[in-house]
Structure 1
Amino acid sequence: MVEVRADFLSHIQGQLHAQTEEMSTKEQVGENASRRNSLQFPAMATAKPLPKPTTDLKTVLDSEVKEWHFHIYFHQGNAEEHHYALELRDAVLRLRRDGAFIAVPLFRVNTDPIGPHPAGKFSSLSRDKAIIRMCADRINRGPLSILVHPLTREARADHEVRNSWIGPSWPLDTSTLPVRTFEIPLQYPSLKLGYSSKVPFISPEDRAALGANVEKVLLKEKDAARAPVP
């Protein structure tokens, strides 16, 4: 009887062990599935349809960017970078003098953080793409980083989401910048460029005629995409 009972107990223990392992495996699978669902749920809950690009002519014209700011950064404790920034600034001034582009660096070079900017820098206003090409060249830029942003009524968005970097980016503190101002902060209106330009306004009708002519010319270009039919 003792031997039978021992065999019986051994059999029962084996079954219990197998059942315990099976339950543990199921619990682990369920826990993993629950964890996956919990990780996926926020993404599903916050998913939003992407907005469509605007095709309204008036909206596009009213939001046209006509002036840009360039901020050239250097580590204020790095004498070599500081010197290089001054060299780049002087190069911009010489090229402006010679008619390469129109850019207006400020007379001062900041050697400490100021406003949203975390390091030494000098700033420049421009509406000319030629200066972008110049600054994008690694030989001209050297070890410096350059922040490029549009100049609009929404200064905070200009620095946060409408900006571009040439070289490594720097963290900005935009908390002091206004979300929106009533007027565009005009820069050097005496130049009569950008937002201060006196170029006659082109009416929507004239723009439509220009657009129709472009479409007509491009009909002969097999690689050119056709504008969608309204």
Structure 2
Amino acid sequence: MGPDPAPRLDPEPFPQDTSPGNQRHAKQAPAEIAHNDRSPFPTSRSPFMTLLDPASIDSWHAHVYFDADSRDAAWALRKVIDEQLGARVQLGRFHERPVGPHPMWSYQLAFDGSQLTPVLGWLALNHGALDVFVHPNTGDALRDHRDCAVWIGRSHQLRLEALFG
């Protein structure tokens, strides 16, 4: 047999859900993207999407959540993190109460962008039964926590009012 034929390009690369509840979305045009000369990344003109420049990320935080029942597991994970990721992350305090927007007890790991892939990968594989909230730090704390975060495990409702000043 010869080589596989070249892939066929679909004129509608993003299939639309045309079920009755979603018909209004099926008729919307894709977001218009414009290039901003100051950034290597395009910016959006769509009201549904705003593209941000990843260069605006100063650093990252991961918050390991726990409670009274999972305190010992959280402490054990923290010790392993210190042993295995200690050179990549800076460990914060072990808070046995909710702090800031975090609705549960937590501790923080701070790291720079060059460490995102190894730290996120390690946490994804080793968090056990604990939940981890990961967010960038761009200078817009509300957006960073509300719109740009990643959860490992279950997500929790943040207390975003704590970020308002």
What range describes the TM-score normalised by the shorter chain of this pair?
A: 0.5 to 0.7
Match for residue 161 of structure 2?
Answer: 175
Does residue 84 of the first structure (1) align with residue 44 of the second (2)?
no
Give the 3 Å change call, closer, same or farther, for CA 83–63 of structure 1 in structure 2.
Answer: same
Matched pairs, number: 128
The Cα offsets for residues 48-70 of structure 1, whole Å up to 9 and x where unpaired, read as: 76644554352357651241000
Give the 3 Å change call, closer, same or farther, for CA 162–48 of structure 1 in structure 2.
Answer: farther
Rounded Cα–Cα distance in structure 2 between residues aligned with 1:126 and 1:151: 10
User: Which is helix-richer, 1 or 2?
Assistant: 1
The Cα offsets for residues 149-186 of structure 1, whole Å up to 9 and x where unpaired, read as: 0011110010001001000101101112148xxxxxxx
Comparing both chains, which one has the higher relative contact order based on Cα–Cα distances under 8 Å and sequence gaps of 6 or more?
2
Match for residue 91 of structure 2?
Answer: 105
Does residue 144 of the first structure (1) align with residue 124 of the second (2)?
no
For 1:77, the aligned partner's letter is A
Match for residue 117 of structure 1?
Answer: 102
Instruction: Determine helix, strand or coil for the equivalent of 2:95.
Output: coil
TM-score (normalised: structure 1):
0.49
Query: How many angstroms does 1:88 deviate by?
Result: 1.3
Match for residue 59 of structure 1?
Answer: 39
Runs of 5+ in structure 1 lacking a partner? 1-39, 180-230
Q: 100, 105, 118: which is aligned to 1:130?
A: 118
Where does 1:1-230 land on structure 2 (aligned, <5 Å)? 51-53=31-33, 55-56=35-36, 58-60=38-40, 63-64=54-55, 65-74=57-66, 76-78=67-69, 81-97=70-86, 99=87, 102-106=88-92, 108-127=93-112, 128=115, 129-137=117-125, 140-178=126-164
User: Which is strand-richer, 1 or 2?
Assistant: 2
Rounded Cα–Cα distance in structure 2 between residues aligned with 1:172 and 1:143: 19
Rounded Cα–Cα distance in structure 1 between residues aligned with 2:34 and 2:78: 38
Match for residue 213 of structure 1?
Answer: none
CA contact (8 A) 1:154 1:178 kept: no
Rounded Cα–Cα distance in structure 2 between residues aligned with 1:69 and 1:54: 31
Calculate the aligned-residue CA RMSD, in Å: 2.7
Sequence identity percentage: 25
Tell me which stretches of 4 or more aligned residues in structure 1 moved more than 4 Å: 47-50, 60-63
Match for residue 210 of structure 1?
Answer: none
